[in-house]
Amino acid sequence: MTDSSPARAACVAAPTPAADAPAAVFTARLEPGGAVFAAPASLPLLLAAEQAGLMLPSSCRNGTCRACLCHLLSGQVRYRIDWPGLSPDEKREGCILPCVAHATSDVVLARLP
């Protein structure tokens, strides 16, 4: 039996070969609402959303305050810092910090209430 839960698909730290290319651009969708924006591998998802005119909660922009916490419903991200401010349980549940998470594939994010 295969576990297809978002948490299993979401917690991938290793970059995919396409994401290593500086010019790689993926598509991100923000739920609820379905707003779509370009997510270059070279930019954190938070910054990519802001450049598209979408505002997400944020404060520190370095992965410590957790104001931008979201669920990754599908796709993969990687971090360029050793340990973003997430517990192992939160990582397993599919939580990400868009301020320091870079897309390595097309992604779907869900804002937390």
Q: How confident is the model at residue 22 (pLDDT cuts 50, 70, 90)?
A: low
Domain of 24 in residue numbering reads as 9-111
- pLDDT tens digits along 62-100: 888 999 999 999 999 999 887 778 999 999 999 999 999
CATH, residue 33: 3.10.20.30
The closest alpha carbon to 76, from 111, 109, 113, 32, belongs to 109
pTM of model > 0.75? yes
- Specify if 1 maps to a domain: no
The whole-angstrom distance between residue 63's C-alpha and the CA centroid of its chain comes to 12
C-beta of residue 20 within 8 angstroms of C-beta of residue 103:
no
- Specify if 104 maps to a domain: yes
- Specify if 53 maps to a domain: yes
